[in-house]
Structure 1
Amino acid sequence: MRVLDITVFPGRNCYAHFPVTKVTLDLEELAGRESSEYPWFCFALGECLPGIANHSCSGRDGGFVARLREGTYFGHVLEHIILELQALLGFPKAFGKTRYAASPGVYHVVFEHALPGLVEPLLTEALGIVQSLLQGSTVNIHEKLEPLRKLAAQLELGPSTQAIVKAAESRGITVRRIGDESLIQLGTGIYSRRIQATVGPHTSCLAADIACDKAMTKYILATAGIPVPFGFTVETDQEAVEAWQQIGRPVAVKPRDGNQGKGVSLKLNSAEDVAEAFHFAQVFGGKTIVEEYIEGRHYRLVVVGGKLVAAAERSPAHVVGDGVSSILGLIAHTNLHPLRGEKHEKPLTRIALDDISLRVLRRQGIDANYVPQQGQLVLLRDSANLSTGGTAWDVTDMVHPEARERVERVARLIGLDISGIDVVAPDISSPTLEMTVIEVNTAPGIRMHQYPALGQARDVAGAIVELVFPPGTPSEIPLATVTGTNGKTTTTRLIAAGLRHVYGHVGCATSSGIYINQKQLVAGDTTGPWSAGVILSDPAVEAAVLEVARGGIIRGGLGYNLADVAVITNISDDHLGQDGIPDLAALCRVKSLVTEAVRAGGVVVVNAENSYCVQAGQASRREMILFAAEPSQVLANHLAGGGRGVMVQNGAFRALAGRELLYEIPVNMVPLSFAGLARHNIENCAAAMGALWALKVPFSAISATLQAFAPDLLCNPGRQNIIKVAGITVMLDYGHNVPGVCAVADLARRLCSGRLIGVISAPGDRTDASIVKLGHCAGTKFDQVFVKEDVDRRGREVAEVARLLRQGIAEVGRVPAGEEAVFDEAAVHKQALQSAGPEDWVIIFYESLERTLGQLRSVEDEVGALRAVVTVTEAVGG
């Protein structure tokens, strides 16, 4: 088997509304072969991965094993092996599908993934398992899993961040991971906030620095009357011993700026131990603190937003003797507890017998082979951190009111909005006279509170999310998305223009670039998921509109989670035969992802005159606003049922809720309609009107938008722009499919009193039949047709697309104009202009607007200066 391609979808996609991977797989020698032909394989797979027996398939629990025995192709087998490997790594995933990829022996294997960075190593191991078992070799699954487990530990979010992500998602807040670490964006645009572990967007950098400096923290607390351990900062082992002697009792030694219990030694009461502990602390930091060791019970209390939200009692990693087992055996037995796992995978971490543990044992005068008496407690760590095998149990409800007040005051004194405060006290349920604050921690781990070994779980993550987004505070900017075959860019620009009447900074992504207001940030076709991330991550953006194209959906899925409004302008013949899309029904399924990704309470705006659009709107289970260029029965039925709609009737755009007319504006007041002659633009305006209405933009602002938005190079560049070149009227448009070219040609025919001269090309990734059809359209609609080729031929040979276009033109009885061997854009544009008379119009369908304008300026330079843009009134002849 050979992997041809891997596509990782990080969000919603054509296959599922969660992250999946699509592997394009050539089965090679296994093509057409079924698992039932290899009975030893089926048995060996069950032995190697016994969990596969529980996999569902064809709607049956355990159905995959039945399919395996009956006979199934090996792409399907690979899918289930990958799912099982993920489950063994602690990421149980159930979704998978394997489909024929329209080439002999080639299949698309789709499966849900937990970590994108784990996909390729998982795939490699799964392929290796299939190959080994087919050859009759044994597979050591534990050996294969170990490197995957280590990689997963590096890639996955820490437990605190995972808990916060889960809490945010449960509240409908968009979550976006930034990079491969624990930096997370919550929300979108101007409402977005960033967190890293439990460091929030409002955590003071100065306060965090203070908390990291244990000596400064103690000084601030002591001067405020908070009990802290008496001690000294030292720089040599001799100073450390002298500090212990001056304190005159057992001490703790730790790095001045340490964290997570690293380098901490407790209850030291000899010069030798203190000196050794000093050198141990030096491994983790510069200066070292020697302070009195406070006897008592150890507690961690978490304060969020000035309020205590959780408390836990902690004990260091330890074992309890049974009178028979050595410490080594007791550790192994303790680690078998179901609550203990590797690192952060479970509520408790397995205990490691390492150099630090051995050092702690030596201080107690024993080693790992020592057999403790029945009930004897043996410490293996000084610090009580969970990450080193410590244990914690919830005591939140036991905290005395005075203790609560004190730790809340401590957080205020240091200045932290999120803090973990370590205290020692005889009993946290008693008054605070004997409670000593040991440390104040920035970015406290919250695993012990979310998943305590004993006691009630505390939703610290939820408290942090509510600190960042208090109840009633928005987290998401208004978002509209636009898809369809034609009209997407114009509709997107119209919606953005309308939103600018209400919001100061509006983000917009179209086939011409990424914009904030009308400032272009990125040029090019930006209709995929990356551009959505650019806009939604920008803290200046107050509202956004995204053009979502078929190609972006297929290649990367959606770049956002949920929109407030989704628009489908139309679904018609384009891209058929590409990417496994054979017909309009399949194209509709792809574009329907946009209407499915609308939040509860949102609206879908769809074309009432296009059955595929209506079908997608109905399937979304969201409120629909239907639009139409003229009254239709579908729209009439929708309005009769109390629905909302926008249509053109009696020469006006009308917004109706049921039978109630809420607003109307005459069509001839809307420049984009070309005085009612541009039906396609009338549809675009109606769609934008519906979307803006759904976004709660006032009708006065909608009206102002429609009246101000002109078909010129400023408002709508590259869409039916009319200019003069050397005295000839030229219309520029991006039409690249039959419906688009026909619509523009029909408009130009209504405006032009002379001949229509078309200059056409076609994207090379369309099917031969689609390109020939475009030639038919051009030959029918134009009096004269010039053929050029795009600079980006998209895999075609030179002149191949031009030949197909000329073939289509000839098949409708029209002779293509220009020299057959000349397909260069600039040369063809010049030929077309030279052939035009004063009353003729040249319609140029461009690949790059900027390049085409530059070419036309060069032509103009030969005969005179480029003239001003023609107004709509002049074009119509009014």
Structure 2
Amino acid sequence: MAKFNDIQLLRTTFLRGPSVWTYRPVLEVWLDLGELEDYPSNKIPGLNERLTSWLPDLIEHTCGVGERGGFIQRLEGGTWMGHVMEHVIIELLNLAGMPAEFGQTREISRRGVYRMVFRCPEEAVARVALEYGHKLLMAAINDEPFDLKPAVHAIKTAINDRYLGPSTGCIVDAASERRIPHIRLNDGNLVQLGYGAAQRRIWTAESDQTSAIAEGIAQDKDFTKRLLAACGVPVPEGQIVASPEEAWEVAQDIGFPVTVKPSDGNHARGVTLELSKEADIKAAFALAQPEGSDVIVEKFIDGVEHRLLVVGGKVVAATKGETVSVYGNGNATLRELVEVLNQDPRRGPEQEYPLDWINLEAGAVKLELNRQHVTPDSVIPQGQGVLLQRNGNMAIDCLDDVHPDVAYYAVLAAKIVGLDIAGMDMILKDVSKPMQGQGAILEVNAGPGLLMHLKPTSGAPRPVGMAIADHLFPREDGAGAGRIPVVGIVGTRNNAFISRLVGWLLQLSGKLTGVASSEGMFLANRHTQKTNTANWAGAHRLLTNRLAEAAVIQTTARSILEEGLAYDRCLVGVVTDMDGYEQLADHDVLEPGQMRRVMRTQIDVVLDEGEGVLNADLPEVADLAELCDGEVILYATGADNEFVAAHRANTEARHEGGRAVFLKGNNVMLATGTQERVLGTLEALSLAGGKRPDTSALLAAIASAWALDITPELIGAGIKTFEYQA
């Protein structure tokens, strides 16, 4: 069989926000099929069989058919290679543990060239998936071998390198469920939830309400215990020691058995329990010393380890631990038994799995083995148990069993330390009974891991991400939690002027307002940047600014095509025109009608409670009204505009009729249904210094301000005081 030349990847563009394709980030790839344009899938012998043998779950892809096996039907009936590559990439992402769920492939005006997109929130991951999807498809086309396992591993590695950790991720997912937007601020786990002045920040399970003082207290475990004890919280007796010899002396004074641990460690590293022998205590000191600044010897309290998660003064999750042991069969060595134990799918790296792998070379494990006089190479007799780990495996859900008294002390401890989110390590004989006499608080942890509550080895997963999201954004704040008024404006006709006037009116209404426009960045009365900010980067900077109580963002058709919008939704979306297709031939926009698909993006993102503002003088713009999830305000330079008349008469969206701003004679009118109000004459609505703005641009700004519930009186007064210089 003759070999086909590679499909050429002409262009790859990561669209970071809502775009012509979808609301979420996608990678857009321009593909040149070359000679393969003449060879759909049913004309390449063996192609479909090779694809389905390597990727059997392609059967689950419904494709446009809308049923299981839909894509296979398309393969067998004949579909082009751009479409096939789309599904191959989506399946590779599925196998790597990141369902893509969305893809599209569309031919452009040039024969054999297609735009293919697939959803992926991280550009680096998307590019790795594209690389291996391309390789797999070409191997299948040319009947060459392909090793799937390294491909999936490479994508998984990219996911692990780039994706949020489970603690941060579950909070972000919960916020998204409540339609609270998020912005990732670095390559790690620092995330902004919400926009502008309404934002909150998280870093794993810490928030911007987590006090640095409280975190410092929690890290000093000895001082924390003294604070808790002073407030009546049961804690084990203990003391900081400076040497192995002092550790032994203090242990004798406290009374056996004891626990030896670092004073400021975490994740149970360096902690050794239930020690009574001098050699063991001194060895435990050596184990704990590298993990913290000091070493503590404290009284060992018999019971079961528990972790209670406290969020905003409430216990929202609880797990309990269990020791880890293996049992001999008379043939296998301890090392072999542990290898089998580590094959448990629940075990893995601590940030990803509820149970850790058991490492026989770890100091704590070695110490446990020494106490039992066994080595990794010992053959363990039939039925004999070997204790490997006493702590650090708190992954059995027990929230429903927590006694109110136990919860009280957990909440009290968090308040004493000053943490809004805290993980309480407690030792309890029975979590369902009152605390006194049967337990104590061992540690208070800032930034606690959440994975044990999300993926317990037994019991119900707990919605801890939602608990933290609700703590940061109380439900009583309503549907707009985390949002500031965002006005998005797209078009070419005086849009910088419109943006700045709307920003000025918002500022006068009492909101510190930022404007990102082609004339620069403005914050309140300051011109903070003079270069063009009518793009993704400019909008992004504005939305991350904690001073901004409202944002007006100008964008362009090119920015939508090359970057996507920087915001997920807006309160007001404005489309002034659909001009400029002549400058977009490089995006295969070749005629005016193709602009609708681009410009509708601004209206597609209007919130349900928001409004679209559309130029009714242009039928192609007025027709976008049907796409708006919110209400619509039309503006026009004539009172007899047919779109305005029909909109005012429409009582479906608003029972009193649609709203419009238009010119009647020389008067600017605000109309709701049949009701009309004169805002002022064009002369009276001149800018400061008597400047007369473009009439259509003035009407667009007035309509936008009205959509923001700014009063007509303030709109009129604000226009007259607006000092505009381009």
Greater mean alpha carbon deviation, residues 600-609 or residues 241-250: 241-250
Q: Which of residues 44, 47, 65 is equivalent to 2:72?
A: 65
Once residues 302 and 414 of structure 1 are traced to their aligned partners in structure 2, the CA distance between those partners, rounded to angstroms, is 14
| Aligned-residue offset at 1:369 | 6.1
- SS at 2:321 equivalent: strand
Distance 2:580 2:540 in 1: 29
Provide the rounded CA distance (Å) in 2 between the counterparts of 1:436 and 1:13: 55
Superposed counterparts of 1:17-416, under 5 Å: 17-28=23-34, 30-59=36-65, 60-319=67-326, 343-345=350-352, 348-349=354-355, 351-356=357-362, 359=366, 360-368=368-376, 378-384=386-392, 390-416=393-419
Using the TM superposition, give the Cα deviation of residue 28 of structure 1 relative to its aligned residue in structure 2, in angstroms. 4.9
Distance 1:503 1:540, change over 3 A: same
Q: How do 1:289-688 and structure 2 match up within 5 A?
A: 289-319=296-326, 343-345=350-352, 348-349=354-355, 351-356=357-362, 359=366, 360-368=368-376, 378-384=386-392, 390-433=393-436, 434-473=438-477, 474-572=481-579, 574=581, 575=583, 577-631=585-639, 632-641=641-650, 642-671=657-686, 681-688=694-701
Matched, 1:8 2:17: no
Alpha carbons 2:688, 2:719 under 8 Å: kept: no
**How far apart are the structure 2 equivalents of 1:345 and 1:72?**
39
**1:443-472 deviations in whole A, cap 9, x for unaligned?**
112222234333343332222222222233
Q: Which amino acid aligns with 2:665?
A: N
User: In structure 2, do the counterparts of structure 1 residues 490 and 28 end up closer, same or farther at CA, with 3 Å as the change threshold?
Assistant: same
Partner of 2:703 in structure 1?
A: 690
Which AA in structure 1 matches 2:617?
A: E
TM-aligned CA distance change 1:603 to 1:379, over 3 Å: farther
Give the TM-score normalised by the residue count of structure 2: 0.91
* Distance of 2:475 and 2:637 partners within structure 1: 43
**For the structure 1 residues 191 and 97, does the alpha-carbon distance in structure 2 shift closer, same or farther, using more than 3 Å as the test?**
same
- Separation (CA, whole Å) in 2 of partners of 1:332 and 1:39: 45
- SS of equivalent to 1:315: coil
Note the alpha carbon deviations across 1:820-868, whole angstroms, 9 max, x for none: xxxxxxxxxxxxxxxxxxxxxxxxxxxxxxxxxxxxxxxxxxxxxxxxx
Instruction: Output the TM-score relative to the length of structure 1.
Output: 0.76
By how many angstroms is 1:135 displaced?
4.8
CA distance in 1 between partners of 2:584 and 2:160 (Å): 43
Report deviation, 1:383. 2.5
State percent identity of aligned pairs.
32
Deviations 1:265-316 (A, max 9, x none): 2223333333332222233233222222221011111222222222221224
- C-alpha distance in 2 between matches for 1:325 and 1:10: 54
SS in 2 for 1:429: coil
Contact 1:21 1:111 in 2 (8 A): yes
| In structure 2, C-alpha distance between the alignment counterparts of 1:365 and 1:403, rounded to whole Å | 38
Query: Do the aligned partners of residues 404 and 581 (structure 1) sit closer, same or farther apart at CA in structure 2, a change above 3 Å counting?
Result: same
Q: Secondary structure at the match of 1:3?
A: strand
- From the superposition, tell whether residues 46 and 327 of structure 1 become closer, same or farther in structure 2 (CA, over 3 Å): farther
- State the alpha-carbon separation in 2 of the partners of residues 640 and 5 from structure 1: 48
Contact 1:331 1:351 (C-alpha < 8 Å) held by counterparts: no
Q: Distance in 2 between matches of 1:611 and 1:672?
A: 29
- How far apart are residue 576 of structure 1 and its match? 5.3
User: Structure 2 counterpart of 1:633, which letter?
Assistant: E
Give SS of 2:46's match: helix
Structure 2 unmatched runs, 5+? 1-5, 651-656
> Relative contact order (C-alpha < 8 Å, sep 6+): which is higher?
2
* Counterpart mapping for 1:685-834 below 5 A: 685-709=698-722, 714-717=723-726
Q: Secondary structure at the match of 2:14?
A: strand
Aligned partners of 2:303 and 2:439 also within 8 Å: no
State the distance in 1 between where 2:220 and 2:402 align.
27
CA contact (8 A) 2:686 2:692 kept: no
Take 1:375 and 1:697, find their aligned partners in 2: how far apart are those partners? 78
Secondary structure in structure 1 of the residue aligned to 2:63: coil
Q: What is the match of residue 653 of structure 2?
A: none
**For structure 1, which segment, 521-530 or 553-562, has the greater mean C-alpha deviation from structure 2 after superposition?**
521-530
| SS of match in other structure, 2:676 | strand
Deviation at 1:343, TM superposition (A): 4.9
- 1-structure distance, mates of 2:669, 2:383: 84
| Whole-angstrom distance in 2 between the partners of 1:653 and 1:118 | 52
CA shift at 1:378, angstroms? 4.4
User: How far 1:103 moved relative to its partner?
Assistant: 3.9
Question: For the residues of structure 1 that align with 2:265 and 2:508, how far apart are their CA atoms?
Answer: 53
State the AA in 1 paired with 2:709.
K
Cα gap change, 1:15 to 1:126, in 2 (>3 Å): same
1:312 and 1:448 in contact (8 A); partners too: yes
Offset at 1:562?
Answer: 0.8
Give the letter for the 1:503 counterpart. Answer: G
AA at the equivalent of 1:461: G
Q: Distance in 2 between matches of 1:223 and 1:401?
A: 22
Q: Greater shift after overlay, 65-74 or 537-546?
A: 65-74
- How many angstroms apart in 2 are the aligned matches of 1:504 and 1:303? 35
2-structure distance, mates of 1:584, 1:151: 41
Give 1:685 shift.
1.3
Counterpart of 2:3 in structure 1 is none
Contact kept in structure 2, 1:233 and 1:288, CA below 8 Å: yes
Contact 2:506 2:550 in 1 (8 A): yes
Give the distance between the partners of 2:341 and 2:176, measured in 1 at CA: 35
Task: Quote the Cα distance in structure 2 between the aligned partners of 1:331 and 1:663.
Answer: 82
Compute the displacement of 1:508 (Å). 0.3
Separation (CA, whole Å) in 1 of partners of 2:374 and 2:503: 73
Greater displacement, 336-345 / 502-511: 336-345
Deviation digits for residues 490-523 of structure 1 (CA, Å, limit 9, x no counterpart): 2112211211211252100111111112422222
1:656-686, Cα deviation, whole Å (9 max, x unpaired):
11111244211221226999997xx211111
The 1:65–1:354 alpha-carbon spacing in structure 2 relative to 1, beyond 3 Å, is farther
Flag the 1:585–1:288 CA change in 2: closer, same or farther, 3 A: same
Post-superposition offset of 1:626: 0.9
Q: How many residues align?
A: 705
Q: Is the 8 A contact 2:128 2:158 kept in 1?
A: no
State the secondary structure of the residue aligned to 2:188: coil
Question: What CA distance in whole angstroms lies between the structure 1 residues aligned with 2:350 and 2:441?
Answer: 27
> Secondary structure of 2:585's partner?
coil
